[in-house]
Amino acid sequence: MANVQYKGTIGILTGGGDVPGLNPAIRAVTVRALREGFRVIGIRRGWAGLVDVVRDANANNEDNFIELSKVVVDRASRTGGTFLHSSRTRPSNVSLSRVPEHLKGTYTEKTNDLTKEVLKNLEWIGIDHLIVIGGDDTLSYGVELSKKGVNVNAIPKTMDNDVPGTDYCIGFSTCITRTISMTNALRTSAGSHERIMVLEVFGRYAGFTAILPTMAGAANRCVIPEHPFDIHQLTEKMVEDRRENPSRYSILIASEGAMFSGGEMLFESAEKDAYGHAKLGGIGDMISAKIKELSPKYNKGRGIDIINQKLGYLVRCGDPDAIDSIVPMAYGTMALDLIMKGTHGRLVALRNGRYDHLPIDIVTSKKKLVNVSKHYDTERFRPIYQDFEMLPLFLMASE
């Protein structure tokens, strides 16, 4: 590579929850960037790595950033998760306890905006271009930096598939594949004991991870955040499904953000992350308890036992499937193409089956949710199976 002219330094970071497909995206950028004459720096722990940098040539910053090579990214690219690690840090909203030790005397508020330090750290490291891989939270801070003149391009990642502007986010296909596979595996227990099974999946505001497996036949019904459900009506349907099944069981998939009619989201604790989100959890437990309590009313006075399982991290761990190996490669290549054209402030995307890119601020301009009137039958708690012509691969687009 000695004859290749140096073209600048690219920084890459991954933020938010881990998903399969992150490492293939990092590899796609790195291998070609090195061949084209770029230096590539991997920022560790998402935005946290850029917050914690000590601007001293003698300081040990190996926990904050590393130089990437073909050998490093080749080794990691076939595995799940992110070898750069991740966090839910937002530099514009850093709690006092999280302020780096070397900055404690400078930032003393309960919450602190360390964006000024991030900008200085990017310059000190020598990063000319920044590729941010994450969900709408991680990418929203990328929007802030872009507005301040940083050369940012973004790659959408979240198994919830809820980043606006794109039909597909890295991690979604593997999540759906795993959900279907695990649901089908668990149905043997549900059938053996003639129970109703309730499976809780991720999905804070959007119900894509519940509605797509149900649409694929993994479950009888699903409840999603976009439409509160009546527990009596739901119980009646689940008992009816069980009665009609020769093996005497039925399956419900519930998004973690689903809500009872007149109720609110359920949280594990009141503690919130840097983006203002408390950790969700418990809707599966509550639905299970209520169905068991109400089941005699719809089952000739006899109660029905429940299998209650939270799939959680099981659907976001492990190796990527085919789609989450191919799409990240394409997204990473596109992000580098944009840099080589001198184009910044863009979100790479899939729209109507074609790769594209849009202004990065689309991430903060709206929410991407299930179109209930088009895709969800609120009376039957089921997807709507009609009018698929010209819809994208996973049916529900960023409208």
**Which residues are known catalytic residues?**
160
- 21, 17, 83: which is closest to 326 by C-alpha? 21
DSSP string for 231-262: HHHHHHHHHHHHHHSTT--EEEEEETT--BTT
Question: How does DSSP classify residue 364?
Answer: G
CB-count exposure of residue 228 (10 Å: 0-12, 13-18, 19+): middle
Q: Are 199 and 219 in contact (CB under 8 A)?
A: yes
> How far does the chain reach from its first CA to its final CA, in angstroms?
44
Radius of gyration of the chain (CA): 23
Token duo for residue 31: 């291998």
Q: Tokens 């639905």 identify what position?
A: 287
Listed in sequence order, the residues at least 6 apart from 165 whose beta carbon sits closer than 8 Å to its beta carbon are: 156, 347, 349, 351, 358, 362, 363, 368, 398
Q: How many angstroms from the chain centroid is the CA of residue 126?
A: 29
Q: Are 273 and 228 in contact (CB under 8 A)?
A: no
Q: What is d(CA 316, CA 171) in angstroms, rounded to the nearest whole number? A: 7
Q: What is d(CA 189, CA 136) in angstroms, rounded to the nearest whole number? A: 37
Q: Are 183 and 167 in contact (CB under 8 A)?
A: no
Q: Which amino acid is at 369?
A: L
Q: Tokens 């989201």 identify what position?
A: 265
Angle between helix axes 136-147 and 115-125 (nearest 10 degrees) is 80
